[in-house]
Structure 1
C-alpha cells in the first residue's frame, strides 16, 4: 500500500518541479524582481520670498489645490508703503528730467541771443574799422584832426573788445548746453534707478501672496495666522499625487538586461488586489551609496564586498484605478520583464534618457 502512495507523491513532485522549471525557463528567468521599491513624487516645498506676519492661510492640510491657488498671504501694509514711496521717487526723478529739458530750451534761446550779439558786435567792429581807415587816411593828408583819428581808433578797439565779450558769452551759453546734456543723462539714470526700485517694490508686494506652482495636495503645513515668517523658511509642501512614480532599488546584479522603456508589473502593498503597470523611465547614474551623506571609501581599512543597489525610476503606464490612492512612501514590489525590447529611440536603448529638447534649446554661455 505504501509503494503506490509514494509513486503518486513522487509523480506529483516531479510534475510540480517540471511545471516550475518550465515556468522559470520560459518566464521566470527573464523577470527581475525587488520589494525594495516605493512610491515617490516630486514634492514641492512652499516657502515665502519675503519676511512678514501671516495674514491668511486659506488652505488646510490634506486639501487639494490647483496651480495658481493662494496658499499663504503675508501682511502687505509695509510693502504697499514701500511701493508708494518708490512710485513717488519715480515721479520726482521724471520731474527732474522735465526741469532739465526746460533749462535746455531756455539755454538754447540764450545761445541764439548770444549769437545775435556776436553778429551785432562784429558789424560794429567792421564799421569802426572802416571809420578808422578813413580817418587814418584823412589825418595823413591833414584833412582830419588827430583827435578824430584817435577817437576812431578807440572806437575800433572798443568794437573788437565787444566782439570778444560777445564771443565769450556765446561760448559760455554753449558750455551750459553741454552741462545740461550731462545733467539730463544723470537725471535719466536716476529715473531708471527709481523705476528699478519701483519694480522691486512691486515684486515684493506681489510676493506677499504665495501661490501653488502646480496641482497637488497640501501637506506639512507649518504656519498659522499671525506667525512671523522669514524668506526661504518652509511654510508647507504641495504633493502632486496625480503625478507619482516608483523608484525601485535593484541589485547591481539585476541590471544587465534592463533598458529604458521595458515593461514593469507593480504590486502596491496597500492595494494587493490591484496590480499596476509601468515602464522603466530611467536608471540613476550611480548606486545609492555614491550619493549618500558619507560615501564609502573602500580603499581604506578592511574591505567587505556588499552588493550595491541602483535606483530605477518607473513611471506608471496609464491612469491608476479611481479607488487607488497612490501617495509617496507606499511600499511596492516591482517586477521587470526583460524580454520586452524597451524604447530603442531613447539613447539607443541604453540605461539613460536621451538629451531633453528643452535643454538643447538653451544657448551656450559665451566666455
Structure 2
C-alpha cells in the first residue's frame, strides 16, 4: 500500500545540516552567516590604497620632521627675528637764529631740497643797518688809530728836541764848571778880580737849573710818547672790536636767509609769510629720505650672537611680498630703558622682571623707487642671520673658564 507524499518527507530526505557545504569569503575566511558584513574586492582594494597613502604620508611627515629638526639645529636657531622694528631717519629740525618777520618762503611741504637750498628769508633791513653802523664804527676807530700814530710821531720829535737841548745845556754847565774851577785859585792869589769869579759862579748855577729843566722836558716828552703808544693800542683794539661787530652783523645778515643744512624732504612746515619768528623757534623739519635705516628692538635673549656686518632680511608692511636686504650696522651699547627720560629704579619697591630690548641699527638696501615709499615710522619685520658668530659663544665660555682658572 502506497502512502501519500508530503513536504515533511522532502525535509527528511534532504541533506542534513551537519553535512551541508559552508560558504566562506575566500579573501577574509569569514563565514557570511557569522553576522559580519562581507567586504567586496573593490572595498578591500580601496582600503589597501588608503593604507598605502597613509603610510606614504607618515613617511613624508617623518622626513619633513627630520628635515625641520636638522634645519633648525643648523640654521633656524641662529635666525633672530622681530616685528618690533621701524624705519628711521636722522631728521633735522630747522629753526631761526634771528628774530624778525618772514619775508618770503621758497619751499613747501614734502618738497625735495638739496643741501644749501634757500628755505625762507627773514626781513634783512635791521641787519643791513647794523652792518652799515659797524662800517662807520670801523672808520672812526681807524681815524683814532691814525691820530694816535701821528701823536707818537710828534712825541718822538719832541723827545729828540728835548734831548738835544739837554745835551747843549750840559755842555754849557760843564764849561762854566771848568771856568769856576780855573778862577777859584786865581782869586785866592789876587790874580783875577772876585767879580769875574762871582759872575762865572752865577752863570754856572743858572746852567745847572737849565739842565734840570731840560731833563724834565725830556721825561715829559717820553711820557707823552708812552701815552700816544697806549692810545694807539687802544685804537687798534677799537678797530678790531669794530671789525668783529661788523663780522657779527654780516653773519646775522646771512642768517636772515635760512638754508637747508642737509638734503632731504621738507616736512611739517610752520612757515607763513609775515609771521614773526623768535630765535630758536621751530619752523620746519628736513627728513633725509636717502639716508634711511631700520631700528629693530630685539629681546635681550636674542642679541648674544649679533655682530656688525651680519646679513638681514626685511619685510615692510607697506610693501607686502617684497623682501629687502641689508646688514647690521651696530648694536646700541645699552637697552632702550637705559636711555629713557626716566630710567627704571629696580632697587626700590617690589621687583618684576621684564625682558629688556636692545635697539639694533640696520642698513637697508633700497633703490630710488622704493625710497619713495619707505618713510620713517613704517613697521618692518626683521630677520638676522647670526650663524657667522657661532664660534663666539664657545670663545666667551673659554674666556670665562680661563679667567676663573687664573
- Whole-angstrom CA distance in 2 between matches of 1:204 and 1:321: 38
2:325 equivalent in structure 1: 277
- Whole-angstrom CA distance in 2 between matches of 1:57 and 1:210: 10
2:193 equivalent in structure 1: 145
Report how far residue 300 of structure 1 moved.
2.7
1:256 equivalent in structure 2: 304
Instruction: Say whether the 8 Å CA contact 1:263–1:340 is kept in structure 2.
Output: no
Report how far residue 290 of structure 1 moved.
2.0
Verify: 1:238 aligned to 2:286, yes or no.
yes
Label 1:154 to 1:332 Cα distance change in 2 as closer, same or farther (>3 A): same
Instruction: Find 1:322's aligned residue among 338, 347, 369.
Output: 369
* Helix, strand or coil at the partner of 1:340: helix
1:111 equivalent in structure 2: 159
- Whole-angstrom CA distance in 2 between matches of 1:65 and 1:160: 87
Instruction: Say whether the 8 Å CA contact 2:305–2:389 is kept in structure 1.
Output: no
Report how far residue 131 of structure 1 moved.
3.5
> Any gaps of 5 or more consecutive residues in structure 1?
350-367
> Any gaps of 5 or more consecutive residues in structure 2?
1-45, 397-406
- Whole-angstrom CA distance in 2 between matches of 1:10 and 1:217: 58
Label 1:321 to 1:240 Cα distance change in 2 as closer, same or farther (>3 A): closer
Report how far residue 13 of structure 1 moved.
4.4
Instruction: Find 2:146's aligned residue among 89, 98, 110.
Output: 98
Name the larger-Rg structure.
2
2:32 equivalent in structure 1: none
Instruction: Say whether the 8 Å CA contact 1:55–1:225 is kept in structure 2.
Output: yes
* Helix, strand or coil at the partner of 1:254: coil
Instruction: Say whether the 8 Å CA contact 1:271–1:324 is kept in structure 2.
Output: no
Report how far residue 321 of structure 1 moved.
5.5
2:79 equivalent in structure 1: 31
Instruction: Find 2:245's aligned residue among 173, 184, 197.
Output: 197
Label 1:100 to 1:321 Cα distance change in 2 as closer, same or farther (>3 A): closer
Verify: 1:126 aligned to 2:174, yes or no.
yes
Report how far residue 130 of structure 1 moved.
3.5
* Helix, strand or coil at the partner of 2:362: strand
Instruction: Say whether the 8 Å CA contact 2:290–2:371 is kept in structure 1.
Output: no
- Whole-angstrom CA distance in 2 between matches of 1:110 and 1:9: 122
* Helix, strand or coil at the partner of 1:271: coil
- Whole-angstrom CA distance in 1 between matches of 2:215 and 2:344: 86
- Whole-angstrom CA distance in 1 between matches of 2:76 and 2:367: 26
Instruction: Say whether the 8 Å CA contact 1:63–1:217 is kept in structure 2.
Output: yes
Report how far residue 61 of structure 1 moved.
0.8
- Whole-angstrom CA distance in 2 between matches of 1:268 and 1:181: 75
Q: In proportion to residue count, which structure has more helix?
A: 2
Report how far residue 200 of structure 1 moved.
1.8
* Helix, strand or coil at the partner of 1:191: helix
Report how far residue 286 of structure 1 moved.
1.5
Label 1:341 to 1:6 Cα distance change in 2 as closer, same or farther (>3 A): closer
